[in-house]
Structure 1
């Protein structure tokens, strides 16, 4: 059964269309993440599902019910925002109980639901505290607890970790993942951070300029992107892109030469039918590039720029002769020095071919 189904959903502000005919189906109990750069429409789409933004066209269904024109309070959703939006004069208990108190629920019911949510979120020892006595992560857990006590059909998270420092973000990601496993509710999470998306999601929806680029499981998008935008956005560090030219084509593969390595033809997996001589882009991830020569690898000359040292792993940033930026994953190898001429070896079977328009050549 579908938890949420969007059919032809669009949004316009006057003559400006910001969400373009979105079709998405999120299964009941699934954790979906809307991801994309700032301004791509992910928060607008989330607010449309919540009922906080009017839907210009299309249909939104929650558990098979059409809620497109239904008031936000009657959709059965609960939203957790980037700002904690806690009442500073109320205790943790009263903040979590607020919506139930307003609805005049029995005191025994309020007590049971708040304490059950506090147990889930490990807030039992903080129920008498005020928000200014809590850490940022604890405040966000209180905001989530306020949503839990409402027992919504769908949880909506709008960049809830953006105000936290890097270490606390990692901990809160684990908390949210644990929460989803524990309560099994349908959740939609908005972020511009693709690491959060890859960590949390059962399903990722990649958006660009209000248009869905691809929908799929995290590793599916990583291993099989539909276009250059998805290929470059999913994965950290990002995929490298190099210009190439098609020299011949056969069933299931293309023979190409890199602009940075003319006269060195090699085969890449891609569909036939690309005109000979046509320019394309080749994508290769940092982990599929080696320093020095490698058997079966495509040689490429470059100049080292700098190294990101992360302990057991490092990321070498380099430039080719044509100015193409390359990131190379280094594990255990001797690190080159800045401005040092280096030789790279690319794995051709791990490359992705894209047309000049950025479409995947499958």
Structure 2
């Protein structure tokens, strides 16, 4: 079948009129920007064009709900970026509810309005993409979302009830938070925690507006648009992500700066988020 016949197949089976079929197929092909390929056969199309045909066939009947199960998994990186853009534009134009299943967290974060994260069939968190990234509900979600991965640092939290604060001690130093910033504070006076901080939230050799610690460069990985640093801070290994090309030597000592507002704290015993990062956007 040609591209036109392929997209029209469901309407043909439903015995729709030729005029209605032509109108809706032309509209679907136009939306997917493949009108000029209407007379071609699948073997004459690229992988990205074939994927557009499949989506055009799915939307030709103006569905109220569109189910997409890893639709971009067989495409190369360049085509995936292109098709992500097309699908997001299509969603805005159609206003159709789309349930999109993917293992690619970049697809999930860039395309969705709501994300549901499942592990082993169990729903772990439902949130909008920004909230999910800034405040993952559990250690598993935090570790899954983000590239490079989030930094985890072991520590101990102590409730100082008479001052209404929680003191957190780790390789990042002593941090003091108002108790009301915590979702919950275990009733123990002292308890094990894990600090979470995103690599892009760590500033190297900044002006000193936040908390500053010393670290040694283990490796530096310039990648054109960004530079990834692996750093050793006492017994902890952390990663920092810098925009642009930066050059560092192995074993070089640098100043790492970060804001307490960007810190997540998780209970080590339950794995749940107990202190949220602040969304400044």
1:348 corresponds, among 260, 275, 279, to: 260
Aligned length: 268
Match of 2:223 in 1: 309
- Compare 107-116 and 157-166 and name the one that shifted more: 107-116
Q: Among 21, 24, 48, which residue is 1:137 paired with?
A: 48
Q: Which residue of 2 aligns with 1:337?
A: 249
Higher helix share: 2
Is the aligned partner of 1:297 residue 2:211?
A: yes
Deviation readout 1:186-244 (Å, 9 max, x if unpaired): 11111111111111111111111111111111112122322222223233322211001
**1:126: Cα distance to partner?**
0.3
User: What's the TM-score once normalised by structure 1's chain length?
Assistant: 0.68
Partner residue, 1:238? 149
Contact 2:217/2:248 (<8 A) preserved: no
**Structure 1 residue ranges without an equivalent (≥5):** 1-89
User: Is residue 2:268 matched to residue 1:359?
Assistant: no
**1:298: Cα distance to partner?**
4.3
Given that 1:256 and 1:267 are in contact with CA atoms closer than 8 Å, whether structure 2 keeps it comes out as yes
Equivalent residue, structure 1, for 2:196: 283
2:164 and 2:135 map into 1 onto residues whose CA distance is: 16
1:116 to 27, 30, 34: 27
> What's the Cα RMSD here?
2.3
Whole-angstrom CA distance in 2 between matches of 1:325 and 1:165: 33
Does residue 1:174 correspond to 2:85, yes or no? yes
Match status 1:156 vs 2:67: yes
Deviates more, 1:148-157 or 1:313-322: 313-322
Contact 2:212–2:255 (CA<8 Å) still a contact in 1?
A: no
Query: Cα distance, 1:304 vs. partner?
Result: 1.9
For 1:343 and 1:325, locate their aligned partners in 2 and report how far apart those are by CA, in whole Å: 15
SS in structure 2 of the partner of residue 358 of structure 1: coil
1:187-266 equivalences in 2 (<5 Å): 187-250=98-161, 253-258=165-170, 260=171, 264-266=173-175
After superposition, the Cα gap between the structure-2 partners of 1:222 and 1:249, relative to the gap in structure 1 and judged at 3 Å, is farther
1-side partners of 2:86 and 2:33: how far apart?
Answer: 10
Q: Could you tell me which runs of 5 or more consecutive residues in structure 2 were left unpaired when the two chains were aligned.
A: 276-281
2:230–2:240 CA contact under 8 A, matched in 1: yes
TM-score scaled by length of structure 2: 0.86
Q: Which is worse superposed, 202-211 or 341-350?
A: 341-350
User: Is the CA contact 1:304–1:342 (under 8 Å) kept in the aligned structure 2?
Assistant: no
Q: Distance in 2 between matches of 1:167 and 1:339?
A: 36
**Larger relative contact order (Cα-Cα within 8 Å, sequence gap ≥ 6):** 1
Q: Deviations over 1:119-152 (max 9, x none)?
A: 1111110001111111111111100111112332
| Alpha-carbon distance in structure 2 between the residues aligned to 1:341 and 1:209 | 42
